[in-house]
Structure 1
Amino acid sequence: MTAPLDVQPTPLALLLLGRESDPKSERGVDCPGDLPAPSDPGLVERARAAKAKLGERVFVLGHHYQRDEVIEFADVTGDSFKLARDAAARPDAEYIVFCGVHFMAESADILTSARQKVVLPDLAAGCSMADMATAEQVAECWDVLTEAGVADVTVPVSYMNSSADIKAFTGRHGGTICTSSNARRALEWAFGTQNGREGGGKVLFLPDQHLGRNTAVRELGMSLEDCVVYNPHKPDGGLTAQQLRDAKMILWRGHCSVHGRFSLDSVRDVRERIPDVNVLVHPECKHEVVEAADHVGSTEHIIKTLEAAPSGSKWAIGTELNLVRRLAARYSPDKEVVFLDRTVCFCSTMNRIDLPHLVWALESLVNGDVVNRIEVDAETEKFAKLALERMLALP
């Protein structure tokens, strides 16, 4: 939705491919090409004024991948689940303005009280990964598993980066949600007996195949042969009944459009350019990238690793550029922080939340208009919350 402001939303810094890098930024985190102009200073003042008028009635959440101009007005920052929990911990806030993407706002609505209203400043801020698994596709997949005779021994484990519908499916079928930081615990639970099923046979992991594969192989000691990929665009997922029976991990064919672009060449290139560099990547990256890295971890893990890193160390980070640029600015010149790839830039959907949209949402609330409210229906919320609660109960 376009914000009805005098100043139009700033353009996105999209994936600028095939362009020559500025030699000055070859070891930095600048995006090649022209970046959007700074926000209108008038919008900054309007945001401050609107937030001041709302006071404690509003609570603004900012995901780590957001623009700096938006993060400036966030009451708290964090990853998707941390922010949803932060929202639930503020029951007195009438309005929750979630500067993130759609599935995050849904999770906040599920975990907050009925009297609280969750607002997403731009409804176009979605997540391509979450969109790769629809409720209809997953229901069809479960039918395929049933016909293959494996549904009864399969536990769904869905990544936080999924829609409320997928979380509800997971809750209905005895599964749990996971984050990139607790995926191992979630899989151990699913393969164990805590779920009340016999012998923990299989896991259907939705919707990010890379996080599922990396966790199963690197942390649970499985082989790549234990994993198969279910493609919802092929009949029966492109798999035979025997392949489903033999597999331990049934991975949904989904991925993050940002993390999925990092390649083995990216790792080799940065090692050639920067001697003694530490490569630190997110587990949503491809398996070969994760295997070639020195360190792997969630967004919060990346932040904590940089914080604890020794003075003079060098780091190439494989995650969203807004966060990497912020970390580079925070630790320069004590530590050298660079972006892992030369060409991949911002998450285009996350960056739809810009200052004009935030100002519009805040000023609308000042005027008594709740725009872009995110509401999950009661039935979906019931089962999605059940899956989330199972995650919260993990040891």
Structure 2
Amino acid sequence: MSDMETELSAAQRIAQVRDVLGSRLTIMAHHYQNDNVVRHADVVGDSLELARRIPDLKTEFIMFCGVYFMAETAAILARHFQKVRIPDLDADCIMAAMAPASRVRALLAHLASTGKRVVPLTYVNSSAAVKAVVGELGGAVCTSANAEAMTRWALEQGDAVCFLPDKNLAMNVADRLRLPENERLLLDVRGDGRNVDMKAAANVRLFVWPGMCAIHHRMRPEHVEAARRDHPGCLVVVHPECRPEVVRMCDAAGSTRRIIEFCEQAPQGSTIFVGTEINLVKRLAALHAPGKRIVPLIESACENMGKITEEKLAFCLEKLLTSCKVSVPEDQAKLAKLAVDRMLEAGA
């Protein structure tokens, strides 16, 4: 590191690069990023909001502050002259890792042997390789904001849907759609599908991959019970990656955008317990104080989101041409883009 780099703060170094690049650079950040990162962002949003913004960007460099699958999605949607970067290439997603592309392909092939037209629907929290498999097989991507609408879309395309990789989001969608229990099946994905109960599969309309978000799965019914017991009249809103039994106990559940709106619309004087990643909860608490009291249901932080720091953002911006590159093989990107485009075209 040079003497200049040691003398300047990370924020000053970021400002220097921005001054040089000007309109050639867009910094995007997910709501779960730390405030020291978010303050440098041109665009802040949830997965759906950020994906929708990519096609309209005209900048040469897109710096994506989030986890790797999000940066991959940006690379899939970016135009040929655009370069996508992420401050830490190791900012992975535990949920995405629960659905390897080879296993997804093998299991979908096994489900096809039932004679059903099983349409794959992958949550955006999945690798580009998985999105490519889904795109190739006529499926689409969804986000927490449009999972219900995209599941309806997928059901209209075939006989059944295979929703992956988040079992909690899938089951919460099934509840919203009032899909009977006997039409849902939590998949045993061991042995590439050979352990699936094919007799039970005959009547199934929703096949559910058994992945989960560790951050949201930590939230349990007793946390909601404690909030209501200790703070009578409080409101509780959670992310739909939480367990269905938690979601059923709450006043609302939705994407990060929906959670933000819920807090905005709550009456002055409210105490609101929020069940999602702690960075967003703290930001909402600061934004709405003192008129509303916003409290984490539990303090749950995403370690991988936390890998993106202001210092790493500064370093990556300074090494923009040579480091932090996000790339997706062309053939894979083409198929993955089919899946993402189907979501965007559905207008869900």
Q: For the residues of structure 2 that align with 1:69 and 1:234, how far apart are their CA atoms?
A: 44
Distance 1:275 1:281, change over 3 A: same
AA partner of residue 129 (structure 1): M
AA partner of residue 323 (structure 2): V
1:324 to partner: Cα distance = 0.3
Give the structure with the larger helix fraction. Answer: 2
Identify which of 349, 371, 381 aligns with 2:323: 371
Q: How do 1:163-202 and structure 2 match up within 5 A?
A: 163-192=127-156, 195=157, 200-202=158-160
Within the alignment, does 1:242 sit opposite 2:199 as a pair?
yes
Alignment correspondent of 1:338: 295
1:127 to partner: Cα distance = 0.6
Identify which of 57, 62, 81 aligns with 1:96: 62
1:314-341: per-residue Cα shift (whole Å, max 9, x none)? 1100110000000000001101100002
**Residues 5 and 360, structure 1, Cα contact 8 Å, conserved in 2:** no
Alignment correspondent of 1:66: 33
Query: What count of residue pairs does the alignment treat as equivalent?
Result: 346
Q: How do 1:16-31 and structure 2 match up within 5 A?
A: none
User: Which stretches in structure 2 are left out of the alignment for 5+ residues?
Assistant: none
Secondary structure, aligned partner of 1:246? coil
User: Which stretches in structure 1 are left out of the alignment for 5+ residues?
Assistant: 7-39
Alignment correspondent of 1:306: 263
Q: For the residues of structure 1 that align with 2:206 and 2:307, how far apart are their CA atoms?
A: 34
Q: For the residues of structure 2 that align with 1:316 and 1:41, how far apart are their CA atoms?
A: 39
Alignment correspondent of 1:116: 82
Identify which of 162, 165, 174 aligns with 1:216: 174
Secondary structure, aligned partner of 2:29? strand
AA partner of residue 359 (structure 1): A
Identify which of 101, 120, 135 aligns with 1:135: 101
Secondary structure, aligned partner of 2:214? coil
Identify which of 333, 337, 340 aligns with 1:385: 337
Percent of aligned pairs with the same residue? 39
Secondary structure, aligned partner of 2:162? strand
Q: How do 1:28-43 and structure 2 match up within 5 A?
A: 42-43=9-10
Normalised to the residue count of structure 1, the TM-score between the two structures is 0.84
Normalised to the residue count of structure 2, the TM-score between the two structures is 0.95
Q: For the residues of structure 1 that align with 2:15 and 2:70, how far apart are their CA atoms?
A: 24
AA partner of residue 336 (structure 1): R
1:36-57: per-residue Cα shift (whole Å, max 9, x none)? xxxx972222222222222111
Identify which of 236, 260, 278 aligns with 2:217: 260
**Structure 1 segments of 4 or more deviating over 6 A?**
none
Secondary structure, aligned partner of 1:158? strand
Alignment correspondent of 1:228: 185
Secondary structure, aligned partner of 2:274? strand
Q: For the residues of structure 1 that align with 2:48 and 2:251, how far apart are their CA atoms?
A: 26
Alignment correspondent of 1:27: none
